[in-house]
Chains A and B, each alone.
Chain A
Amino acid sequence: MATSQWWSSESFWRKTAIWVTGGSMVILILLTMDTLPQISAGSKRVPAYSVINHRIEYQLDNTRHVQVPVIGKEEPLFGVKLTEEEAEALVSHGKMTVQAKNCMNCHTLLGNGAYYAPDLTKAWLDQYWGNSDIRETQMVEFIKDPSNKLHNSLNRRMPNLGVTDEEARAVVAFLKWMSAIDTNGFPYNFKSIEQEN
């Protein structure tokens, strides 16, 4: 058994382990430094919070062969145009509500979370809200008290989580902003509101 082959040498593998780990970590940190600016709010892929002042569509990009969010003409949420700071505060309040109410233990956001209820990545664009004139009020009303609004044959209802009117509006702002993130075509084949099949 006692060989002096390099491949059975303890110290060779110890050094390999250290170098491989250190090298991988360095590469990960460099990639992270490259990625973070690309996903900061206001970048090309992750829009500024004031995007909620605009219309958002989800269209096929013919060069990338995936659907991407397209930011359209001015169409302020709840009819009120916000400054960048106001928009950020609103979206942030929405995000905080989403965390405090534990939405992610029933829903997925960007595909991560729980699988008991629909993915919310593009919820703002969902055809189930009817048309864009009534969407905002429909969403606020639903989130405030979904317990008497059933939309499926399974009797699987979302509970009343005690979301206030102000919080519900903030959540809708957060959902609208999230729908404008470029997610490389996820969810695939999604048909957005006011877009023919």
Chain B
Amino acid sequence: MATTMGRLDSANLNGGQKLAVKYFLVAGILFGAQILFGLISGLQYLMPELLYGVLDFSVNRMVHINALVVWLLYGFLGSVYWMLEEESQHEVVGLKLGNLIFWVLTSAVTVVVLVYLLVQVGPGNQTSLWLINEGREYIEAPRWADIGIVVSVLVFFYNVATTFSKGRYTGIAGVLVLDLLALFGLYLAGMFYTPNISVDQYWWWWVIHLWVEATWEVMVACIMAYGLMKVLGVRRKIVETWLYIEVALMFGSGILGLGHHYFWIGTPEYWFTIGGLFSALEPVPLVAMVVHAVFDAGARHAKNSNHPTMAWLIAHAFGNFFGAGVWGFMHTLPQINLYTHGTQWSASHGHLAFFGAYATIIIAFFYLAAQRWRGGVWMSGELPGNGWKWKWALGLLNLGMIGMTVALLISGYEQSQIERAIEGSSWIGYFAAQAHPWFIQGMWWREAFGVMFALGFVLLVWDLLTIGKGETRAQQAIAAE
């Protein structure tokens, strides 16, 4: 192995990891596409004539948020394949099938995106929903692709579950397998048509909310548990006990917290109480995770085998807490949500939460992959150039995101006051708020910080492709307790 040290060589990876890096590569490309289409949509707020009638806002926004969902799912699949063989101490059972499915899924994603961009819309009939897009935010993918996705994830699930049962079935494995089952099962709740928009949104939120505030949170808690063992050498008993606590708190608050989306869609009034109460508790596990990560890092004087990964894991703990916990809490009570519902407030929270909770932890795994792929090279202190690339990428991405979030929040405040509270959400009221200088300034700042974010992304890619190149030192040994 020593001969390949410092070079990208797939001989350095186990079977699951070879598949994982494919998922990571596609995830990275989609992340780039997401940013590009985000910048275009943001610019259309400022210059509505831009690409009008060619690539309308709706098209760009759809590609932006779909690329987001898909790259995060690819990141999750990759992360699970990454840790699967080590965690189970067994080879991935259906690796060939896994590879095949990777190509099937990736081709399907490509076709879906091309159809979004080139066909865009169809006539109002079932055929359009089956072939072009379903017109339901985040899960716009046409029905044929839904079915493809379901088949693919079934194969993935089979691979994970059987590999664990043939090898070692750890605590992390137990949580992960059940969580994946729930995650994929929920997708089915979004696969039907009804003319009744209240019923439509009722089930739509099962997919969206029970993903991001329940099953995805538990998913990243599993990934975090593995990550902390890996880079800090925390004992298994500690991370697994902590994982169970997190699961209890997350599902205990997040499942009924679903009610915070049932205030205004036609659903009965008791959801005010249930949604308000349980969603207000959702920040608790996120605080707990910050404590866990910071305490574990502190207890080891932050001595770890991969500095960029560790930094991004800490960014994840804080990002999840602020983006989901704090920003979510700010508008989750019905008394406030009446005015903020469906304004730039939601966008402010959506950005910080998705980035803080999910993008960060996948980036952490990108660095783990880069390290191993180059033969397990040194990635602690004293990197060439003092590791300026990863540090600047970390700074630009996080500052860019914080800047966008704050800008959107200011626009959101203005919108909830003028459009919602004063003008009563009429057509005129909407534009009274959109034309207000405070709103427009917020939109400019969002775009400016978006550019900063994009620069951070370019640097991140450059760093991932070069870090550890020519490195001769092996990674820092971590004393397992």
Residues from 137 to 189 in B contacting A, C-beta threshold 8 Å: 137, 140, 171, 175
- B424 contacts A101, CB within 8 Å? no
**A90 closest partner in B (C-beta):** B195
A59: interface (CB < 8 Å):
no
Known A-B contacts A99-B135, A161-B121; A109 and B268 likewise in contact (beta carbons under 8 Å): no
**B338 closest partner in A (C-beta):** A188
* The residue from B56, B195, B266, B428 contacting A92, defined by CB atoms under 8 A apart: B195
* The residue from B44, B420, B434 contacting A187, defined by CB atoms under 8 A apart: B420
B306: interface (CB < 8 Å):
no
B386: interface (CB < 8 Å):
no
- B136 contacts A104, CB within 8 Å? yes
- A17 contacts B48, CB within 8 Å? no
**A2 closest partner in B (C-beta):** B237
A6-49 Cβ-contact flags toward B at 8 Å (1 or 0): 00111001101100110011011001101110111100011001
Known A-B contacts A157-B52, A183-B266; A21 and B255 likewise in contact (beta carbons under 8 Å): yes
- A191 contacts B265, CB within 8 Å? no
A177-197 Cβ-contact flags toward B at 8 Å (1 or 0): 010011111111111000000
Chain B residues touching A, majority SS: helix
**Range class of the B interface residue count:** 35 or more
A176: interface (CB < 8 Å):
no
Known A-B contacts A46-B266, A126-B426; A14 and B124 likewise in contact (beta carbons under 8 Å): no
- A28 contacts B134, CB within 8 Å? no
- B124 contacts A93, CB within 8 Å? yes
Q: List 20 A-B contacts (CB under 8 A).
A: A14-B244, A16-B245, A17-B248, A28-B258, A35-B202, A39-B198, A39-B202, A45-B266, A45-B267, A88-B195, A95-B195, A98-B124, A102-B59, A105-B59, A106-B56, A110-B201, A114-B137, A115-B344, A184-B263, A188-B424
Residues of B within 8 A of A (CB): 41, 44-45, 48-49, 52-53, 56-59, 61-62, 120-126, 128-129, 132-137, 140, 171, 175, 193, 195-202, 204, 237, 240-241, 244-245, 247-248, 251-252, 255-256, 258, 261-272, 274, 338-339, 341-344, 346-347, 420-428, 430-431, 434-435
